[in-house]
Amino acid sequence: MLDILKAIIFGIVEGITEWLPISSTGHLIILEELIKLDQGDAFFEMFQVVIQLGAILAVVVIYFHRLNPFSPKKTQKQKMLTWQTWVKVVIGCIPAGVVGILFDDWIDSVLYHWYVVAATLIIYGVLFIVVENYQKGKEPQVTKMSQLTIPMVLIIGVFQMLSMIPGTSRSGATIVGALMIGVSRSLAAEYTFFLAIPVMFGASLVKLFKFGLNFTGMQVAVLLIGMAVSFAVSIVAIKFLMNYIRKNDFKIFGYYRIILGAIVFLYFGISALLA
């Protein structure tokens, strides 16, 4: 039963940090130091990725009508625009998809270290502040999904690819990339949510198949509860972010990332020296 409680805690952290641009990996690596599931390292590694499926479902539920090209409530033009949105999502996912398939194991073995996480937390935190200061007072050039061009989509896709470096934050990287090319904050966030659907679903499937589909009853319970909690918390986190950025910029998240990165550096650095 202790693992059930741990799964709930992991689900809460995943649901909050997956959508706010503050790095779920950065938080999970600290949480992992405090609590760990008693189901083996292979299961735990898979668990941290697969509970993202709950977070994906939250996006699907919130934006179901917007993303459904078959809705009888939509006109033909609206259906066509919905298909165009999906095309732009698929194109935006290509860079991360290619790199993920080719280098997933290498990224896990070479880049998944505390100092990489700490560095990227700080680097992208600074980027948020710099980009927001640069864009201050400027009107965004792109405010609608229909205004996103293929080159813009590919640029944002490259930033999503960079988010495969642990600690970067997938939402953080794509939002920074979108802001840099003149996309409005709300559209940048929404497009980030949509990009997550195929990317996170694909990553979860890869981890599931690598682990194998032989689960114990407790492991199934832990996975389902983690996903359910991640789903519920993600609903709240997504709505909070969209309401927040209507009146505020992303600089607060930049400062938060810098502080968290410093904490990771100090905690793990001191632990390494004392080991």
Please count the other Cβ atoms lying within 10 Å of the Cβ belonging to residue 70: 7
Counting residues of the chain whose pLDDT is more than 90, the rounded percentage is 59
* Residue 142, strand partner residues: 183
Please, are residues 67 and 88 in contact by the beta-carbon 8 Å criterion?
no
CA 48 to CA 250: how far, in whole Å?
26
Reported pTM? 0.88
68, pLDDT greater than 80: yes
79, pLDDT greater than 90: yes
Q: Nearest to residue 194, comparing CAs of 176, 175, 179?
A: 175
Amino acid at site 120: T
Q: Nearest to residue 94, comparing CAs of 166, 203, 198?
A: 198
Average pLDDT over residues 165-171: 88
Q: What is the DSSP letter of 52?
A: H
What does pLDDT average to over the chain?
Answer: 90
Please, are residues 231 and 55 in contact by the beta-carbon 8 Å criterion?
yes
Model confidence pLDDT, tens digit, residues 172-212: 999 999 999 999 999 999 999 999 999 888 878 877 777 77
40, pLDDT greater than 80: no
Q: What are phi and psi of 144, to 5 degrees?
A: -125, 150
* Residue 183, strand partner residues: 142
CA 96 to chain centroid: 13
CA 27 to CA 24: how far, in whole Å?
5
For position 65, what pLDDT does the model report?
95
Please count the other Cβ atoms lying within 10 Å of the Cβ belonging to residue 241: 22
